[in-house]
Chains A and B, each alone.
Chain A
Amino acid sequence: MPADPSEPRDPGERGHPGILTPGVFAACFRSATPALWCIAAAVLGERDHAEDVLQEAAMIGLDKRASFVPGTSFAAWMGQIVRFTALNHRRKRQRRASTETGPITGEVAAPATAIDVVFDARVIAALSTLGETARACLLLKTVIELDYAEIAETLGIPPGTAMSHVHRARAQLRALLGDDATLAKEPP
């Protein structure tokens, strides 16, 4: 998506702005949104409340922007705020309904077949068995196709660790889905 020329530009050009004025914050937040969305969804384990988390985290970040260290990664700094906000949401939700499990809802790209619907539900269930960081690594790699260095910077972990998380997460999902993955290959 081309940048809106009316938006303030990120003076760091690569997500490493200098002084974080409110305008720069808004521009950086906009460009970092895909990664922040994945972090929120990974911590929550679902997508339904990820936008609410991003909204709340954005207000917190805007208020606390003085704590941003100029020249460092905005996505990493904001990612931490998103993570804590999502953790709070998750804890509140668990307190409200500790045993509740529901169907996948919200705005999801339309599955192509009925088998896809079943398979997607199983993938999400399998995803929930991974650790939070592994989920975030896998979603950042798969959904928005960050490279390992970008994942590492965003999550504040070494690149080798990010790579290891992705590989182990894929292997664990393959093992958990087992025959389901094979089933999904077959036409209905």
Chain B
Amino acid sequence: MTRQQVLDLYFLAARHQLIEIAAFLDRVDRAEGEADFRLGAFAAALRCLQEAPPGERATAVLMALSDPTTEPLPKAPGKGAVGAWSGQRLAA
């Protein structure tokens, strides 16, 4: 596809998603109380949109939200995932 075709197919959807992100951050701003680690991880992922090499933005965003460690955990801390790594490097 040409860039023009990509814009024709996807610009409105991307615009919609971008405004959703902006509104989400405004909603967080208006809310009270402390945010947990997910907000910081989200901000770091947003920076990837500007800083990642062309063609690598999706990978960079996913990596910004991923656990980069290599050692298995001593025990599973429950079953669920929350979408961002807490940054805790659990002791073996």
**Is B truly associated with A?**
no
* Chain B residues within CB distance 8 Å of chain A: none
